[in-house]
A and B are shown apart, each in its own frame.
Chain A
Amino acid sequence: GQQLNQSPQSMFIQEGEDVSMNCTSSSIFNTWLWYKQDPGEGPVLLIALYKAGELTSNGRLTAQFGITRKDSFLNISASIPSDVGIYFCAGSSGGGADGLTFGKGTHLIIQP
């Protein structure tokens, strides 16, 4: 089946630093999504990308849909304590009728 490789697995950073994480796939996706999960909660959608090459921002978050359709990255600028959590990439290859394939997540830890 399809697999997403997400890296890094975890990040230990200082407050105020920028963060970058990415996902690569062995197959093409038509949609890339980035979610954040807080402890004890379900994943919450951060950014959705629908076109190859698309660059989208949501506040301090910026994500890009790779030209090859096999990768995506998420950047967080000027990290703050509430950014702590697990970030997941997810991809969809169908026309909208299938479920999402998730990466294993990037655990972000911020040291004050």
Chain B
Amino acid sequence: DAGVIQSPRHEVTEMGQEVTLRCKPISGHDYLFWYRQTMMRGLELLIYFNNNVPIDDSGMPEDRFSAKMPNASFSTLKIQPSEPRDSAVYFCASRLRSNTEAFFGQGTRLTVV
């Protein structure tokens, strides 16, 4: 299995631009999570899906952030408009329904200038 695949690995964009991060979970996993990692706040859960349905988005910082999971093998996290304070590493993770061992992708390092 290729593991959780995220793209792009790095993204540099100008303030105000729309940013879309992509994730392909491990095949067969029912849960998909989006996390954000910063030096100040560490790893924070933004939103998670179960069977493609958003379950808890209370971690999404504000309305500029949105996430979708149109099918079991693809999810996106969109920031519109982006701001410099959104600069962070964004991780996608997935897991099977029966346990809580989440497997992480390599992350997308976002820099908003």
Distance in Å from the Cβ of A91 to the closest Cβ of chain B?
A: 9
Residue-wise, chain A 47-63 has the 8 Å CB interface mask toward B (1 for contact) of 01000000000000000
Q: Please, how many angstroms separate the alpha-carbon atoms of A88 and B93 in the complex? A: 15
Q: List 13 A-B contacts (CB under 8 A).
A: A33-B100, A40-B106, A41-B107, A42-B93, A42-B105, A42-B106, A42-B107, A44-B104, A99-B48, A100-B33, A100-B102, A102-B43, A102-B44
Q: Which residue of A lies closest to B46 (CB)?
A: A99
Whether the Cβ atoms of A96 and B106 lie closer than 8 Å is no
Distance in Å from the Cβ of A111 to the closest Cβ of chain B?
A: 23
With a cutoff of 8 Å between Cβ atoms, the chain A residues found around residue B97 in the complex are 96
Number of interface residues of A (CB under 8 A): 22
Q: Please, how many angstroms separate the alpha-carbon atoms of A60 and B105 in the complex? A: 25
A45 in contact (CB, < 8 A): yes
Whether the Cβ atoms of B101 and A99 lie closer than 8 Å is no
Q: At the interface, is chain A mostly helix, strand, loop or mixed?
A: loop
Q: At the interface, is chain B mostly helix, strand, loop or mixed?
A: strand
Residue-wise, chain B 29-54 has the 8 Å CB interface mask toward A (1 for contact) of 00001010000001111001010000
Distance in Å from the Cβ of A28 to the closest Cβ of chain B?
A: 15
Distance in Å from the Cβ of A54 to the closest Cβ of chain B?
A: 14
B98 in contact (CB, < 8 A): yes
Whether the Cβ atoms of B42 and A102 lie closer than 8 Å is yes
Whether the Cβ atoms of B101 and A48 lie closer than 8 Å is yes
Q: Please, how many angstroms separate the alpha-carbon atoms of A99 and B45 in the complex? A: 7
Whether the Cβ atoms of B103 and A45 lie closer than 8 Å is yes
With a cutoff of 8 Å between Cβ atoms, the chain B residues found around residue A43 in the complex are 43, 91, 104
With a cutoff of 8 Å between Cβ atoms, the chain A residues found around residue B113 in the complex are none
With a cutoff of 8 Å between Cβ atoms, the chain B residues found around residue A98 in the complex are 48, 56
Residue-wise, chain A 27-46 has the 8 Å CB interface mask toward B (1 for contact) of 00001010100001111110
B71 in contact (CB, < 8 A): no
Whether the Cβ atoms of B98 and A41 lie closer than 8 Å is no
B12 in contact (CB, < 8 A): no
